[in-house]
Structure 1
């Protein structure tokens, strides 16, 4: 059975939980207003709607990492330094890769180490909401290593994957670019790892309407 592979995290405190009211205030978005993520890759562009009112904590994590307003541990800094001196704020996803691709299942990225075992240096809890399921292609969902171990890694499905329901937190869905997801899933790979890097060149967050390259 295909699974979203575990991720390994480092010890930062779990960020404060964000509810919909706090999300609205923090991100200057009104109730009912839509939120979008544009993923510009070297294989094409994908645009997803983010379900911020239903899973605000998960979406806050993704958006704040994408926009560079949430701190994370930079693994390139001297590991002997205190953790607080290795925490940086910059657009996290820009330049990362989709390190795992499985045609007919999903593509997975968001690991700063590029190995499938990295993350931002903290974990946070799951958000399972009735009506948000892995019910078709284009679902954005969090990769994890078990309950309550979300970090930065996410995957985008190619088809319905109901065995992942209540195990991985759904937080968005593609509205454009499923053909790009399909293309990425089918790049030449060795043990599900692309032989040539599939790069997330930039993630843009759009309030009210998608941002386009």
Structure 2
């Protein structure tokens, strides 16, 4: 660059120097402007917003605060540890029948846990009852987080009774690799349809098989653990029943495509008195 600025002392040379310096400054301004345009062009469009006056302004992008429920977090930590220890290995055939037992889980009071079942007949949402059957709710959260129920069938559907699923073998004889005792509450009974209850082969044999009731089934009280109540999916329940039979063999494949958990955090609310109560 030095060579461009060496001129003689005569007037002609000095004039040439002034002209060249002027041109150089103009070129510098043009280069700066061009550079600014290039930088603006390369800036992702998602970082700008258009206001009413047509002026662009930078958006304040805030990361959403992720709130993890302690019960879900403890189950996920248990799964992670057992995967690391090779006690849970989804690469092995029949892994759904070789699982360690679910961890003891403490649930947050007032928090709602919803079991979402996406079936080939529609969706069903069931609200768990951790205050009634904490072990059964912990068990199903654990199995759901593992993807255990995905692609399993409703292998037994009896018209006018219930739809049963959750068998890893699809035969009604399988279990997840462990069994445990039932949990019963005197004030929670099989009084309506849409109840989520545990299938078993007698005391101490609860595992992964469950059923959804089509009608009240009082003869099952004290023998099968109720741990959830359907909150939506009435049409799906009817569709499942329509494909059942008196003997229990479905007329077509009834499958759980995917099961997931939704957690609704507890909120401090003011109790609203019922009509007539002030």
TM-score (norm 1): 0.74
Say if 2:247 is the partner of 1:204. no
More strand by share: 1
RMSD: 1.9
| 1:52 maps onto 2:130 in alignment | yes
Mapped contact 1:101–1:186 kept (Cα < 8 A) = no
Structure ranking higher on relative contact order (CA contacts 8 Å, 6+ apart): 1
Does the 8 Å contact 2:118/2:256 carry over to 1?
yes
1:104 alignment partner in structure 2: 160
Is 1:139 the counterpart of 2:222 in the alignment?
Answer: no
Distance 1:12 1:203 in 2: 18
SS in 1 for 2:117: strand
Q: Check whether the contact 2:159–2:248 (CA below 8 A) recurs between aligned residues.
A: no
Aligned length: 169
Q: 1:115 to 1:190 in 2, by over 3 A?
A: farther
Q: Distance in 2 between matches of 1:193 and 1:128?
A: 29
* Equivalence for 2:106: 23
Q: Which 5+ residue runs of structure 2 have no aligned equivalent? A: 1-96, 266-278
User: Normalized against structure 2, the TM-score is what?
Assistant: 0.57
| Pairing partner for 1:127 from 170, 183, 193 | 183
1:38 aligns with 2:126: no
Note the C-alpha offset of 1:100.
0.6
Unaligned runs of 5+ in 1: 1-9, 25-29, 69-90
Within the candidate set 184, 195, 208, 2:251 is matched to: 195
Aligned match of 1:170 = 226
| More displaced stretch, 103-112 vs 200-209 | 200-209
Which one has the largest radius of gyration?
2
Q: Deviations over 1:34-91 (max 9, x none)?
A: 11011000000010100012211011001100111xxxxxxxxxxxxxxxxxxxxxx1
- Decide whether the 8 Å contact of 1:98 with 1:109 is kept in 2: yes
SS of 1:179 mapped into structure 2: helix
Distance 1:117 1:31 in 2: 35
Aligned partners of 1:96 and 1:137: how far apart in 2?
Answer: 22
